[in-house]
Structures are given as C-alpha cells and as structure tokens.
Amino acid sequence: MHSRNSKDGSKNAYREILEILKPPPGRGKQVQNDKYKVKGVIHCYGGTLEEAKKFLDLGFYVGFTGVITFPKTEGLADIVHQLPLERILIETDCPFLAPQPHRGQRNQPQYVKFVAEKIAEIKGINFDQVAKQTVDNANKLFNI
C-alpha cells in the first residue's frame, strides 16, 4: 500500500488505512481463513512506531526507501531500530526519493544498497545480514 499523510498534518493516511483494515470484532488481530490471509507491504513508510506495529500485527511488512538516509529523519531511524528486521523491506521508490549521496537525482534500483547500509547502521548489524534478511522477507511476502 502506498499512502502519505497530508503535508499540513491534517490527514493521517496510516490511521485511515488501519481503520479500513481493522479486523471485525471477534476475529483476532489478523483477518484470515484457509484461502485468504492479509499480507502486503506498507510502501515508503512515514508513519509512527505505534502505527507500524499495528501494521505488523495485521501481517504487513514495512518498507523503507532512501528517505531514511536523509538528514533530520531521526523519527524513521527510531522506527527502523525498533522494528524486527524480519518484517522490514527495502525499496527504491524509483524514480523518486534517491538516497544520499544521490538525493535530488533520478533514483535507480541499484541505490537500494544505500537503504540497506543505513538500516545496518541504525540496527548496529552488518550489511550482509540486512541484505540477506530483506531478500528473504521479499521472497516470503511474494511467494518467490
């Protein structure tokens, strides 16, 4: 799912999505049966930690783009730090949101490595661990 809060802060797209996806009373945290299980990715995440945890509870992954490499994104870094790596995806959002050091240029798929490097830095783990786990996450999500 791709959504964004309004620039002026008057509309919270993540709260609206969570309300739409909220399981019916008595159905538990995740809507599912033998043929249907909610899963997906909240693309280019920009919400709160609380909202991210609610998406995880519903069965979603949370995707991060080059935005996490920008200065003044400490809030997103804190979210990355607190979420389990097993539920994070890395994304390009190509052609937009190129990570540092390419900010302002047309984004390229190969720049996703900068997102992985930043996640490794935030979590205090090595790049290879982030790369392997996020590939595993994508494979699991998309049944590859």
Pairwise CA distance, residues 139 & 26, whole Å = 31
Residue 33 lies in a domain: yes
In a domain, residue 50? The reply is yes
Amino acid making up residue 10: S
**Which domain range does residue 42 map to?**
13-141
Give the pLDDT of residue 36. Answer: 52
The pLDDT tens digits along the chain (144 residues) read 888 777 777 888 899 999 988 767 766 555 554 445 668 999 999 999 999 999 999 999 999 999 999 998 889 999 999 999 999 999 988 888 889 999 999 999 999 999 999 999 999 999 999 999 999 999 999 999
Q: Is 4 inside a domain boundary?
A: no
Strand residue runs (E) in the chain: 40-42, 60-64, 88-90
- What is the number of structural domains in the chain? 1
| CATH code of the domain containing 22 | 3.20.20.140
Determine the Cα–Cα distance for residues 66 and 99; give it in Å rounded to an integer. 4
Q: 7 lies in a domain?
A: no
- Answer whether residue 8 is part of any domain: no
Neighbouring C-alpha atoms within 13 Å toward the C-beta of 63: 18
